[in-house]
Amino acid sequence: MSKENHPLILVKDLSKIYDNGEVSTPAVQGVSFAIRKGEFVAIIGASGSGKSTLLHILGFLDKQSSGDYFFEEKAMTDYSEEDLALIRNEKMGFIFQSFNLLKKTTVFDNVRLPLIYSRIKESQWNQLTVEAIEKVGLAHRQNYETAKLSGGERQRVAIARALINQPQIIFADEPTGNLDSHSGRIIMDIIQKLHEDGHTVVLITHEKYTSEMAERIIELKDGQIVSDSRVSQRRFARQGFIK
Amino acid sequence: MHIKFILKNSLQAIKTNKSRSALTVLGIVIGISSIVLIMSIGRSAESLILREVETLGGAFVQINPGKDAQGPSSMASSLLLDSLKERDVEALKNKNNVPYLKDVTPSLMVPASVSYGSEIYRPTILGWTATWLADLYDIYPEEGNYFTEEDIKSLAPLAVIGQDVKKELFGSANALGKKIKIKNKYFRIVAILPPSGSVSSFMNVDEFIVIPYTVAQKYLLGVDHYQEIHIIAESEELVPQMVKDIELTLRDLHGIDDPKDDDFNVTTQGDIIDTIKLITSVLTVLLTSVAAISLVVGGVGIMNIMLVSVTERTREIGLRKALGATSKNVLHQFLIESIILTIIGGIIGISLGIAFSFLSALVLGRVVGPNWQFVVSIESMFLGLGVAGSVGLIFGYYPARKAARLSPIEALRHE
């Protein structure tokens, strides 16, 4: 098999059980799938279906209880804490539903944040930050504190921050969940463009409409995969689809 | 992670909670300023006392009865010991015994009042030789003459008085030749000393009445021993050799073979200076330790506020970890934040401490006298900063470690 055909993500019989000592709650139960480089996958499911838990494990933010997770063919358990932090920094980008921006901090400083933990030379930081901000169309807001921005603008800041290290894969956890439909469409448009630019995207959503903007939908129910199919009629945000 | 950005983050976090940071730092400010103030007062006191001791000159040596005085109680009891007598002074005067001795006087202090007519005054009454004031302090009578060796031998009731004694008893009238009464015994004034002021904190020449030591012994105290013997060496360099000669002479005279059995002790200026330095440094350490307790309290305040900060910023910690911060990065960030807080407290504390030291020097200068000087020890500043930084490091470590150990997802989920 050529290198290109190796999956970026390979999950085998992965489970996550939350155990508080008295009650153990299974969140993800024995899921298996692979995601190739450059794919745009939506993970869909109702609240409590385990989709966020799965995304957190895929993004190295949490650990599975059992099963195997291979990232770039290497088992997650083989990485040290420092390695995991480095991979999160260099190869992964996160977009959260609640934006997770630093308060009382400018757009510029928020977007630059991953760079201060990276191995990229400081002399390149400014240029990379400006480019990422331009990509999401917020150049005119660069020196604004994020608290002064609208929800849609804040999410664009978060996207710029996710992009800045040129990650291989972008994890978006309900990125439009806190936005009105217009802002949501802009965000989804940006995410679709990122995919077109070659980024692998894993999108978590509970909305069917939004999930159909991906190439492939994995549907979860009660922590298990109930379907894994390609989208026959893809929707495009720039055509004004969202609810 | 670059130190520049850690510092920037920390300063921003401190700036975000200005009033809380200020209150947190207050404990450190109080602790550090107390340390600087106490060390400064300690230094001022030490230099004041040392300067006064040094006015006696390095060639001054004192012999006390009894073994080495080990404290105030043994100093007091030494006044009652009778091991120093006339034969000792005679033996010390012998150039064959103590070749480097320049001058010697027995010394007795008489606790009594003096009166002239209806005027009563409480001076410092000293039984000395006639010329001791001239030899030790270079002070000569303004009027009249010192009593003589003959007067001492013949137990002549004569007195040399200082300016304050004259003023209190006689006002502006003539005092020379008048008779004053001490313990029902009349003394004729043969000399009046010029205004001389304090020669040390303990000795104001203007309050002196100097009488022949023999008279103090026989007529006023009813003893045949001396309280002390004071000696001046030919020069400061000869003091160590002279002390050895004195010890040998007195041991021989008192039939003592083992120095442990000495019934006298010889104190040089060097000994006195060492003792004073020891006392002041022990006192300073003691007081500084008390002040240091407030630093511990301040440190607990820092720890408390950093724990609150970690809780408040749990999501931020989760975010930073999600974006690639390692546990070490987070640990450093919070540690540096608490160190910055305490260093800021340290700098303010040092500045306030210096200001308070200056004010206290102004006040104490009025109370103690102009010899009290404003001294700031550089060590106290470095100590203050070092202690402040250490407090930040020690008390900031636990909250910082707590932050560093947070799992990224639990931190991100924190509400």
pLDDT reported for residue B202: 66
CATH of the domain at A212: 3.40.50.300
Residue A1 reports pLDDT greater than 50: no
Parallel, antiparallel, or unpaired for β B208-212 and B124-128? parallel
Give the confidence band of B147 by pLDDT, cuts at 50, 70, 90. Answer: very high
Q: Are B125 and B231 in contact (CB under 8 A)?
A: no
pLDDT at residue B74, as a whole number: 55
Asked whether the predicted pLDDT for residue A115 surpasses 60, the reply is: yes
**Rounded mean pLDDT of A76-104?**
91
State the nearest Cα–Cα gap between B35 and chain A, in angstroms: 37
Mean pLDDT of A184-191: 91
Distance CA A220, CA B132 (A): 108
Per-residue pLDDT, B52: 74
Chain A residues touching chain B at CB-CB below 8 Å: 56, 59, 61-62, 81-82, 85-86, 88-90, 94, 96, 100, 102-105, 113-114, 116-118, 122, 161, 165
Q: Which of A62-71, A174-183, B13-22, B377-386 has the highest mean pLDDT?
A: A62-71
Task: Give the chain B residue whose CA is nearest to the CA of A104.
Answer: B16
A171-204 per-residue burial string, b: 16 or more CB within 10 A, e: under 16: bbbbbbbbbeeebbbbbbbbbbebbeeebbbbbb
> Residue B349 to residues B36, B40, B387: CA-CA distances in angstroms?
8, 13, 11
* B321 neighbourhood in chain A, CB within 8 Å: 61, 85, 88
Are B326 and A82 inside 8 Å of each other by CB? Answer: yes
**Residue spans per domain, chain B:** 3-53+281-413, 82-262
B117 pLDDT above the threshold of 80 = yes
* Residue numbers in B near A64 (CB within 8 A): none
- For chain A, how many structural domains are there in total? 1
Contact A104 B409 (CB under 8 A): no
Query: Is A97:A173 a contact under the CB 8 Å cutoff?
Result: yes
What pLDDT sits at residue B58? 79
Model confidence band, residue B216 (pLDDT cutoffs 50, 70, 90): very high
Please give the mean pLDDT across all residues of chain A: 91
pLDDT-based confidence at residue B293 (cuts at 50, 70, 90): confident
Indicate yes or no: CB of A100 within 8 angstroms of CB of B407: no
DSSP letter, residue B370 = T
- How many CB atoms within 10 Å of residue A12? 14
For residues B349 and B356, what is the distance between their CA atoms, to the nearest angstrom? 10
pLDDT of the residue at A242: 42
pLDDT of res. A46: 92
Does residue A217 surpass a pLDDT of 90?
yes
Expressed in percent and rounded to 5, the helix, strand and coil fractions of chain A are 40, 25, 35
Interval B346-356 mean pLDDT: 93
Range list of β-strands (E), B151-225: 158-161, 179-182, 185-192, 198-200, 203-204, 208-212
pLDDT of residue B327 exceeding 90, the answer is yes
Q: Please tell me the distance in Å from A85's CA to the nearest CA on chain B.
A: 5
Chain B residues with CB-CB distance to A84 below 8 A: none
Question: Token pair for residue B254?
Answer: 């008192």
Cβ separation B324–A89 shorter than 8 A: yes
Q: Which has the higher per-residue pLDDT, A39 or B197?
A: A39
The CA distance from B7 to A176, in Å, is 35
**Cα Rg, chain B, nearest whole Å:** 32
C-alpha span between B231 and B132 (Å, rounded): 10
pLDDT above 70 (res A212): yes
Give the predicted TM-score (pTM) of the model.
Answer: 0.71
- Per residue in B57-85, pLDDT (tens digit) is 778 898 988 876 555 555 555 556 788 88
- Tell me which residue in A56, A103, A117 faces B325 most closely, judged by beta carbons: A117
**Percent of chain A whose pLDDT exceeds 90:** 73
Residue B389's Cβ-count burial label (10 Å; 0-12, 13-18, 19+) is middle
Residues in chain A with CB shorter than 8 Å from the CB of B320 are 113, 117
CB B183 within 8 A of CB B123: no
Residue A243 has pLDDT above 50, yes or no: no
Q: Would A12 be classed as within a structural domain?
A: no
Given this model, what pLDDT does residue B80 score? 64
Q: Report yes or no on A19 lying in a domain.
A: no
Average model confidence (pLDDT) for chain B?
Answer: 87
User: d(Cα A196, Cα A189) in Å, to the nearest integer?
Assistant: 10
Contact B324 A114 (CB under 8 A): yes
- pLDDT computed for residue B298 by the predictor: 84
Instruction: Report chain A residues whose CB lies below 8 A from the CB of B408.
Output: 61-62
* Closest residue in chain B to residue A165, using alpha carbons only: B323
Q: How far is A115 from chain B (nearest CA, A)?
A: 9
For B7-60, how does the pLDDT look when each residue is reduced to its tens digit (9 = 90+)? 888 888 888 888 888 888 888 898 889 888 888 888 888 888 777 777 777 788
Domain assignment present for residue A33? The answer is no
Q: Which residue of A has its CA nearest to B405?
A: A81
Name which of A61, A91, A104, A106 to mutate to probe chain B: the one with the most chain B Cβ atoms within 10 A of its Cβ.
Answer: A61
Query: Considering only CB atoms, which chain A residues are within 8 Å of B323?
Result: 88-89, 94, 113-114, 117, 161
Task: Identify the CA nearest to A150 among candidates A180, A108, A188, A171.
Answer: A180
ipTM of the complex: 0.91
Of B353, B315, B336, whose CA–CA distance to B397 is shortest? B336
Determine phi and psi for B64, rounding to 5 degrees: -115, 150
Please check the confidence at residue B197 and state whether its pLDDT lies above 80: no
CA B407 to chain centre: 57
Rounded to a whole number of angstroms, the distance from the CA of A62 to the nearest CA of chain B is 6
The alpha carbon of residue B396 is apart from the nearest alpha carbon of chain A, in Å, by 22
Q: Residue A118: list chain B partners with CB under 8 A.
A: 324
pLDDT at B116 over 50: yes
Nearest residue in B to A102, CA atom: B316
Is A32 inside any structural domain?
A: no
Q: What angle do CA A195, A198, A204 make, to 5 degrees?
A: 35
Closest partner residue to B2 (CB to CB) among A82, A90, A122 is: A122
Q: How confident is the model at residue B188 (pLDDT cuts 50, 70, 90)?
A: very high
- Identify the contact set of chain B against chain A, taking CB-CB distances under 8 A: 1-2, 5, 12, 16, 315-316, 318-327, 329, 407-409, 412
- Which residues form the domain of A162? 38-64+80-239
Three-state SS string over A120-135 comes to CCHHHHHHHHHHHHHH
The pLDDT value recorded for residue B273 is: 81
Residue A45 lies in a domain: yes
Helix (H) / strand (E) containing A13: strand A9-19
Q: Is the pLDDT of residue A241 over 60?
A: no
B253, B91 Cβ separation under 8 angstroms: yes
Of A86, A90, A102, nearest to B316 by CB-CB distance is A102
Residues in chain B: 415
Q: Do A81 and B326 touch (CB under 8 A)?
A: yes
Residues of chain A positioned with their CB less than 8 A from the CB of B322: 59, 61, 88, 94, 100
Do B43 and B364 meet the contact criterion of CB atoms below 8 Å apart? no
User: Of the given ranges (A232-241, B174-183, B266-275), which has the lowest mean pLDDT?
Assistant: A232-241
Judged against a pLDDT cut of 70, whether residue B1 lies above it is answered with: no
pLDDT at residue number A2:
46
Comparing alpha-carbon positions, the chain A residue that sits nearest to B16 is: A104
Handedness of CA B367, B368, B373, B374 (dihedral sign): negative
